[in-house]
Structure 1
């Protein structure tokens, strides 16, 4: 995502029916809203106008009155995205820009801002949505997916739709949410406009042709249905588009590594690093909740081992498309070699003639395949199931190397031109061979003064409340505590009046209490009001943060009833699900609610932006 840009406030035009003081208040309000929030606010304001006057408010006496159904009927395309890390948003924005460039009617909505009551009137709909974890929707799309899947979804014989799914084929449930929505729209009677796309980490290889096909199919339909209307001129409260950032994912900034400090104690099973990078002279800005993207390199020892396993020369030139590089460069800087994917397993099964691998690829062997991909790397497959590859075949079969995203563990207001990270160095034995996580190993082995290519990945869904008097509850075991260090720093600098409650967990207090001194000092200063700890291995019975949530459920529910915002960061596979279940239990028990009502309560918090998760 693009780095933050300062919001621009615009004066209301002289002919505006809104008083200057009210206009200034509206301008201040909208400065804190992203595009999805602005769309929601526009719909909310239109609803108020209908309630007062029985008609749709218009910008001037000459502007046509147009309902949602009218807009859909005349040929507007609605593009909805559900995104966990920003990739689906980027694809959706690029698609919308293409239609806007041709002057075609289109609107862009984040999934949690889409008014489900409008679905029955839609004529043209494109969905770009990612799948996370074990076939789960992104957090901002949960409610929409549940609605479309549920009994309240309307029949849609009038709808033409297109679905692009984004995923990671190292997970068995690859692009499951896109596939699910595609099938559900068909079951509701909608007409599939173009074939569904399933994009892996090399997103553009699928997303680009999918977008081009949709544009070719849609532009004539939209032009044919769009009447020649002269719309009233409206002065926006802020520009529709912001100036492009100087440093981006495609053009990263070379940040100097200022500090690389181990913060887990001697004897810990974990190697956790606190890292500080300089953003001086970059112009990059970030807010608490954002992530730092880092372009990494694979371990040289692993590159050499792969080449030796296949009897390939690491210095031999390999051409793919228009690029010719030594095999060492392809494997070191251009290709994923620490993460298996289903397509690679299938291709290697053919190269190796392996019946064992082919059996794992059967539909009823999902758990076995998941275990293989979670516990093995490419080198392990090559050694345990030998097969012949050429260098060109190998490079073509491997997925492009992707940047790693790390939650920023600092507040820009507190640390200045720096970004801090909390990184768990992944290092383990596979048999008797040492293996590493590519990103964490690259970072952990850099020395101070090294240069790292970085960019800011915005996370608008994971933001501190605009009202600083609101309380916040932060649940972050392990390195999931990283963004909450930035939250507490930010709230202290701005003098927030709300209380801060942190729940942290790790195996042992003596060796794994990350940022212990900082949290204790924050408690003394009053910038942290409550700290609950769960050290799972310090007693006979394991205790995790979800147990603390149940233990303190009464206080938790009271904070929520008083308007607190709730945040969860960390492992999506187990922790986030266990925490979600504990929250439901606490709400049901102390709110006197049924399980269904507790789920509705938590969904409502999420819709209000008061329950946010950054899980991975």
Structure 2
């Protein structure tokens, strides 16, 4: 029995009830308390008084003796996650809690901190990993991903494993990192206990189903199937449901936010159009931290919809069933399916369609494209769904197309404000995507909706998406270096506002770049005020078109190499936001070069130094 002493101070119980609860808890074995903690944590968050009471109890999991754990399961289970925004981490924590609540010995491990040499000793390994950019592992998973693909990677000897891959179908190499882990673990001798699941941005339902499937199969393997569901059912019945269910706004139930302000930030004559957008969150209950993002649901541009209908000769007024709703084809194309972004997933669907229809020419062409992974991104650059349908889906009907098309997803934007400075508001910095290729004008879905259609007083559907891997240091005295050219400046406006609002003492150094000083210095007056007040310690700018030789942010970093290395030695955190394909890569390489030269170490040692910054959370990226 437990010898823990529980002190209950909550007014939830009478004196007699407090004594009864205390006696009951003391009668439980530590493992029973562990199960209870995991089970109650999973109950509806609305039952806040129970959770408040639970939070006053000691963390039982830390006090469980190894011998007692061994009695529950002689073989420990490792839940391993590799996360960029925090989604993989949240799923892994849910899985961990579920397994612990069923009496298993479970280790929750971040790939960033995992000792890869322990792979050979794993018996049960459950992997949740996201994909970063065009098929790359997130920074936290880079080392382990490289390790398992090394020739010296250990054999797993029949270790049981399962993989949940998180990704975004709008990218060419959807869930590629999860696919890599799944394939390689099998090649190393692992035994798959459940099929891999590839989850899109709406990952919650798929993740829940994967967790249930993996838990069931794992319990069957370890012979832990005795009566858990019966206990859960009877316990749930004793918990009173709240009288009023609070409305929760999220991706599946977005909030209609009113536009408070819309300002074009670029000056007259600029080749770019960048908008500052202020949205009201009043009445939503939504909150956020600097580093988080806002998802916006927008409609496809009417010109593109008209072009699709004209080129395919489909009837926009015809009605079709789409996800159990009878809608006009024009409405489906406008509000429900993806038209501007082409992904590998869509190409694979069209390949399967061509094979079914025995259209050998289209099938052969699509197979050639998909087989050349290295050239796939370049091939699709600038193309939209209409290009692909016209060239590789000859004869496809409207009904066949909407059954293959990917759903129109929200577009995510870095938050450009601190809620401490702008209560019940969220600000965004959005660059209009507008270009021409293959004889047609191309427009970004959301940026053009905002630029052309959205006005002050209008509303737009939004939700908040957390980004746990892009956060200010917990210690307010820690210096920070921020590199954000173009719209990459957005989260750093939030960072500086937050530190100013909280009175943080840490130094703040900002690097910003764009085309021209006179037309493209985003938030110039605000930065000048922050410099004057001391909220911003130092700022360096790089305007690439103002000189004969193009100057970018990485050049300004190099010019300040001595001071940057000094800040890093003082413990500074380094942040990058913006273009992933070139800018972020160039900045990382410049940082490695600075460390190599200032510390007088080898290139390999400098690379290791920067990797250690990533592992310690001192180098963080929000790139796209």
TM-score range, shorter chain: 0.7 to 0.9
SS at 2:303's partner residue? helix
Pairs within 5 Å for 1:309-320: 309-320=311-322
Counterpart CA distance in 2 for 1:271 and 1:376 is: 22
Counterpart CA distance in 1 for 2:385 and 2:188 is: 42
SS at 1:416's partner residue? coil
Which is worse superposed, 210-219 or 272-281?
A: 210-219
Counterpart CA distance in 2 for 1:587 and 1:143 is: 20
1:359 corresponds to: 365
SS at 1:375's partner residue? coil
Counterpart CA distance in 2 for 1:299 and 1:62 is: 55
Tell me the CA shift for residue 262 of structure 1.
0.6
The match for 1:414 among 421, 437, 442 is 421
Taking structure 1 as the reference length, what is the TM-score of the superposition? 0.81
Pairs within 5 Å for 1:79-118: 79-89=79-89, 91-92=91-92, 95-96=95-96, 99=99, 106=106, 108-114=108-114, 116=116
Structure exhibiting the larger radius of gyration computed from Cα positions? 2
SS at 2:489's partner residue? helix
Tell me the CA shift for residue 218 of structure 1.
1.7
Matched, 1:600 2:608: yes
The 1:188–1:614 alpha-carbon spacing in structure 2 relative to 1, beyond 3 Å, is same
The match for 1:258 among 224, 249, 260 is 260
The 1:428–1:603 alpha-carbon spacing in structure 2 relative to 1, beyond 3 Å, is same
Which is worse superposed, 88-97 or 467-476?
A: 88-97
Matched, 1:437 2:444: yes
The 1:153–1:71 alpha-carbon spacing in structure 2 relative to 1, beyond 3 Å, is farther
Matched, 1:220 2:226: no
The 1:357–1:437 alpha-carbon spacing in structure 2 relative to 1, beyond 3 Å, is farther
Which is worse superposed, 577-586 or 443-452?
A: 443-452
Deviations, residues 14-42 of structure 1 (Å, cap 9, x unaligned): 69xxxxxxxxxxxxxxxxxxxxxxxxxxx
2:133 corresponds to: 133
SS at 2:381's partner residue? helix
Deviations, residues 388-431 of structure 1 (Å, cap 9, x unaligned): 22222111111112111111001111111110000011112234
Pairs within 5 Å for 1:53-452: 64-66=64-66, 70=70, 74-89=74-89, 91-92=91-92, 95-96=95-96, 99=99, 106=106, 108-114=108-114, 116=116, 119-150=119-150, 154-157=154-157, 159-200=159-200, 203=203, 210-224=210-224, 246-348=248-350, 350=354, 353=359, 355=361, 358-359=364-365, 361-362=367-368, 365-384=372-391, 387-444=394-451, 445-452=453-460
Tell me the CA shift for residue 112 of structure 1.
2.7
1:610 corresponds to: 618
1:55 corresponds to: none
Matched, 1:506 2:510: no
Tell me the CA shift for residue 202 of structure 1.
6.2
2:30 corresponds to: none
The match for 1:584 among 579, 589, 592 is 592
The 1:422–1:321 alpha-carbon spacing in structure 2 relative to 1, beyond 3 Å, is closer
The answer on whether the counterparts of 2:496 and 2:535 sit within 8 Å (CA) in structure 1 is yes
Tell me the CA shift for residue 62 of structure 1.
13
Q: Which has the higher contact order (CA 8 A, sep 6+)?
A: 1
Q: Runs of 5+ in structure 1 lacking a partner?
A: 1-11, 16-57, 229-242
SS at 1:531's partner residue? strand
The answer on whether the counterparts of 1:75 and 1:226 sit within 8 Å (CA) in structure 2 is no
Counterpart CA distance in 2 for 1:475 and 1:466 is: 20
The 1:580–1:101 alpha-carbon spacing in structure 2 relative to 1, beyond 3 Å, is same
Counterpart CA distance in 1 for 2:61 and 2:518 is: 71
Which is worse superposed, 520-529 or 471-480?
A: 520-529
Which is worse superposed, 537-546 or 117-126?
A: 117-126
The match for 2:534 among 526, 529, 536 is 526
The answer on whether the counterparts of 2:219 and 2:225 sit within 8 Å (CA) in structure 1 is no
Deviations, residues 29-76 of structure 1 (Å, cap 9, x unaligned): xxxxxxxxxxxxxxxxxxxxxxxxxxxxx9899965218995996345
The 1:401–1:527 alpha-carbon spacing in structure 2 relative to 1, beyond 3 Å, is same
Taking structure 2 as the reference length, what is the TM-score of the superposition? 0.80
2:41 corresponds to: none
Counterpart CA distance in 1 for 2:298 and 2:412 is: 10
SS at 1:520's partner residue? helix
Please give the root-mean-square deviation of Cα atoms over the aligned residues, in Å: 3.4
Which is worse superposed, 173-182 or 525-534?
A: 173-182
SS at 2:66's partner residue? coil
The answer on whether the counterparts of 2:162 and 2:196 sit within 8 Å (CA) in structure 1 is yes
Counterpart CA distance in 2 for 1:61 and 1:301 is: 59
The answer on whether the counterparts of 2:120 and 2:157 sit within 8 Å (CA) in structure 1 is no
The answer on whether the counterparts of 1:523 and 1:529 sit within 8 Å (CA) in structure 2 is yes
The answer on whether the counterparts of 1:75 and 1:223 sit within 8 Å (CA) in structure 2 is no
